[in-house]
Chain A
């Protein structure tokens, strides 16, 4: 950031904001989607995902009126799609925190173009994940039992030695810290929208949302420090959340789950799927909101590289699991993995391998990293693959210690409805958010603009 333009040109460092924009252009361009009347495309997409959400809500109501027997879960496969969806969506959330926190700590200027949307993605993904966590307990109206509180059943406390309670604490901490981080960053941008608003209702709305921010240098100095603190707190937090999610599996005694590789393997998978989702959303957002000067090919290139690296880590983890199953000489462990690849759910295993390990390999080639259709398809494929990864892990249950209790898991229509519903809720929230808040961090983009080099020390 402190390099002069001549040096940047010589080193061929691409600008993070292209098109020779001035500070005012940045405000006008980014605020445009919030100030214009929504396009037909937005309305159509929104009505579609809203319909899915409403149907999903009705189905959830019916499901809990009737009971969980409508789902495909049985004994031994007591964990169905709800937990697959939970792990999948909490993983999606991780890229948002990584982009905003880890890249912030490493002073990566390119994060400014995408961090806001990625953070919003985190919030909505974690909300969807948390709803699956609550729903999977079967009696969601008693979900508050997961929290320790002085209660009328005597001094009966939650079991702090149980991973389900760890999940509760991890997910709620993650959600609250991510929300605070996201909203603090939004406050100056909402103030920008407030000051640009012409209609009274819009001015009042943003006036409330912007908390009365004026942009005083004293307040900025505190805000910058707090952003750094929150980034430093979120970095271990994001690793801890998925580590704790992996403990749901790893602290059990089931072969195939009871392994020490689970925490890093889950975290890498989470970053992988999260970045895939960010690429999917960014490719759409830059087209729909005409933000190609802010979400440049360089941003997408960087994300594709991260996707490739995390894809390789996930591939290494799959290999390590197999190697250890063989090398440990534990026949139950060995069987669990043989069963994963060549058992009745072998098809899911090979979908997972081809989507997660093979498809990101296209990004070895620069030409393909810069190709929008290729990266869009690859990001979708990776998300499918990562959903199947969690499905494969869950299906380890179908053949446990006693062959007499082996059973197959067949998802019912209700399971599929829950799965589709999670996407409905996620995209409804995301589209609504795109309408009322800026998709790109206006103030942060201005700090990495090439024309203001002279402002640095």
Chain B
């Protein structure tokens, strides 16, 4: 049976201190991610201008668990839709309109459907925002080209076995075009 696992809800981590390697092609970042994973720098991340397919496997991050949120939020919305219409119409304020049945559940279907979709969609997006750390207007931007045409490999200080000079030489060995050591004090 397919069950949700905690690691599927991987979170974005704030970037304060670490080493950033910049690469020019998606192939290069893919290769770099595989090497970094093999090196066991747990907690590293890639920064991409667009979703590069296959990077999740290369980095070893599991598939996102957000469909679980959608599933349960959908059931919640559906239940609210049924209960709300039944309780207001047949229980709280029964009104006989043109002799229609008080619990005319066929007529409730459109609103049950809409509430299911609404709840499923909105809660999933809320979960996405929570896991991706957005919105946050005061976030540090490591390099302006990373949202345009360059690819970044980020190894934070918190990664297991982090040693600045080792990490720098490791990232250089991956063939990146630039290696930047990021410190909180040189924040722009």
Which residues of A are interface residues toward B (Cβ below 8 A)?
A: 22-24, 27, 148, 154-157, 159-161, 165-166, 169-170, 173, 176-177, 180, 184, 187-188, 191-192, 194-196, 207-208, 211-226, 229-230, 233, 236-237, 240, 244, 247, 443-444, 446-447, 452, 454-457
Whether A230 contacts B97 in the complex (CB less than 8 A), given A169-B111, A443-B51, comes out as no
The count of chain B contact residues (Cβ–Cβ below 8 Å) is 72
A-B contact pairs, 15 of them (CB 8 A): A159-B95, A160-B85, A165-B111, A169-B110, A180-B122, A187-B134, A195-B146, A214-B139, A217-B46, A217-B56, A217-B59, A218-B132, A219-B132, A224-B51, A454-B26
B residues with CB within 8 A of A:
10-12, 15, 25-27, 30, 33, 45-56, 59, 61, 63-64, 66-67, 70, 84-85, 88-89, 92-93, 95, 97, 100, 104, 107-108, 110-111, 113-115, 117-118, 120-122, 124-125, 128-129, 131-139, 141-142, 144-149, 154
The interface residues of chain A lying within 8 Å CB-to-CB of B15 are: 214
Chain A nearest CB from B151 CB (Å) reads: 9
> Of all chain A residues, which has the CB nearest B106?
A161
B167–chain A nearest beta-carbon distance, Å: 18
Q: Which of these, A208, A226, A443, A456, contacts B50 with CB under 8 Å?
A: A443
The reply to whether A220 and B114 form a contact with Cβ atoms under 8 Å apart is no
Q: B128 — which chain A residues lie within 8 A by C-beta? A: 184, 222-223, 226
Q: How many residue pairs, one in A and one in B, have C-beta atoms under 8 Å apart?
A: 210
Nearest 3 pairs between A and B by C-beta?
A455-B26, A212-B136, A212-B139
Complex CA–CA separation, A157 to B110 (angstroms): 17
Q: Which residues does chain A contribute within 8 Å of B154, judged by CB atoms?
A: 216
Q: Is the CB of B54 within 8 A of A148?
A: no
Write out the residue numbers on chain A whose beta carbons fall within 8 Å of the beta carbon of B30. 455
Does the CB pair B46–A216 fall under 8 Å? yes
- The smallest C-beta distance from A389 to any residue of chain B, in angstroms, reads 23
CB-contact partner of B48 in A208, A217, A444, under 8 A: A217
Contact present for A177 and B117 (CB under 8 Å): yes
Once A27-B148, A213-B134 are accepted as A-B contacts, the answer to whether A456 and B53 lie under 8 Å apart by CB is yes
B139 near A157: Cβ-Cβ < 8 Å:
no
Q: How far is the CA of A159 from the CA of B93 in the complex (A)?
A: 10
CB distance from A425 to the nearest CB of B (A): 25
In this complex, which of A187, A196, A455 has the most chain B Cβ atoms within 10 angstroms of its Cβ?
A455
Asked whether, in the complex, the Cβ of A212 is within 8 Å of the Cβ of B147, the reply is: no
- Please determine whether A215 and B149 come into contact, CB atoms closer than 8 angstroms: no
CA distance A224 to B113 in the complex (A): 24
Please determine whether A452 and B26 come into contact, CB atoms closer than 8 angstroms: yes
B122 / chain A contacts, CB cutoff of 8 Å: 176-177, 180
Would you call B54 and A455 a contact (CB within 8 A)? Answer: yes
CA distance A48 to B114 in the complex (A): 38
